[in-house]
Amino acid sequence: MHRAGRSRLQNCAPWLLLAGLMTSMVAEASELRRTPTVQMLDRVRPAVVNIQGEKNLPSVDGHAGPADTYRRVNGMGTGVVIDERGYVLTNLHVVDGVRQINVTLADGSAYVARIVSQDFATDLAIIKIDTRNDLPVIDLGTSRDLMLGEPVVAVGNAFGYEHSVTRGIISALHRSVQVNDDQGYDDLIQTDASINPGNSGGPLLNVDGQMIGVVVAVRAGAQGIGFAIPVDKAMDVAAELLSTRQVSNAWHGISAKREFSAGHSVFVVDMVAENSPAQAAGLARGDIVRSVGTQELIGPLDLQRALLASAAGDEVNLSVEREGATLALNLVLAPAGEDAAWSRLGLKLKPIPAKQFRQYGTKYRGGLTVSQVRAGGPAAEQGIRPGDVLVGMHIWETVSLDNVSYVLNRPDFDSLDPLKFYILRGSETLYGHMRVARRK
């Protein structure tokens, strides 16, 4: 019995060796299957969210009317996490008019989001979800050095299929696309990566897993033609949408740009507003801001992320590089101003509820009623009068008071002056140009 048992063990030995060899080969094959693209997507997917919601659209004939002439449709889209506290960038058309914005993360957890700020001109919006834990943030690349034929990957909620992945190349750059009468885009990236309804707001990635564009549109009736907003442009808009002025009604007076030196991205001060907190702190044009508090800066968005929890009166510490020397500056945020429209335009404005605004039967999506006009002010000189409805300034719609503040506080505002404006008066749409008082 003992000898026979040993014989069986000896006979089984070659099979054990073969089994071990096969296991090793399977493990090696699995590693070979984990291509750089697979590994990249493992890193990126947690920073991509799926968005769903229901909105009311006008009836098929396109005319607004009573509630029963509207039809309910299920919308879908995608977003990317740009701050670990739950701030998500997406397309405005994905969340505009949605009754409840439902967001699903890669791990399946679901949340209800709220809109923080929005920009109609670029079709971008910031939404916020409240989570207990910090979220992974998308890795940002740059769109300044994109190449035709460069491989790209898109991740999105295509047709409601969450976290769908497609790949292709960059087909063209600097495309202009007119989607409909109300929405057009300039300077887009064109790709043949499969872009479908639901991809809007999702990332277009390079092979390193860096976002180089925000998917925005697909050409109806065409195959293999999709478009994305270049990431550099999208992040400049995101910085404005997350600015302290928009989020906490505070002001710092810093205008900055992202520059590249020796392959590294740096945050360079482009302009310091007169009589601003930044000027009082000693900041100057050309300074490289390395950090705000514990937040390292490589672009304008990082500054706004660093100040998200700050309010007017708070002091923040800046680490600044100037001509090779490192400086420690203290910046105290100031109130953004409660009524910039009155002080600079000579207008008192009041929001109009969406249902009430529909009576105007216009292509504009909203406006502000002029309740008072200051005698001798810029608006009065142009003939604006109480009862008029301000619907636009320059290229931006004025649906809310925040939209007006956004225009008046833009760092490049001097280039917009005299400021073109659009108003509704009865059944007419009028426009003109006004010289705007400088910020005090």
Q: Which residues are catalytic?
A: 93, 123, 200
Residue 373 in tokens: 């006009």
Q: Give me the residues paired with residue 237 across strands.
A: none
Q: β-strand 110-119 against 124-128: which pairing, if any? A: antiparallel
Are the C-beta atoms of 230 and 187 separated by less than 8 Å? yes
How many whole angstroms separate alpha carbon 262 and alpha carbon 324? 15
Are the C-beta atoms of 399 and 367 separated by less than 8 Å? yes
- Give the side-chain half-sphere CA count within 13 A for 25: 6
Number of C-beta neighbours around residue 193 at 10 A: 23
Q: Which amino acid is at 95?
A: V
Q: Which single residue is written with the structure tokens 């769903």?
A: 52
Number of C-beta neighbours around residue 213 at 10 A: 28
How many whole angstroms separate alpha carbon 242 and alpha carbon 250? 11
Q: How far is CA 67 from the centre of its chain?
A: 31
Q: Report the chain's C-alpha Rg in angstroms.
A: 27
How many whole angstroms separate alpha carbon 349 and alpha carbon 31? 63
- Strand extents, DSSP E, 92-235: 101-104, 110-119, 124-128, 151-158, 161-178, 184-191, 203-205, 211-218, 226-230
Are the C-beta atoms of 89 and 234 separated by less than 8 Å? yes
- N- to C-terminal Cα distance for the chain? 103
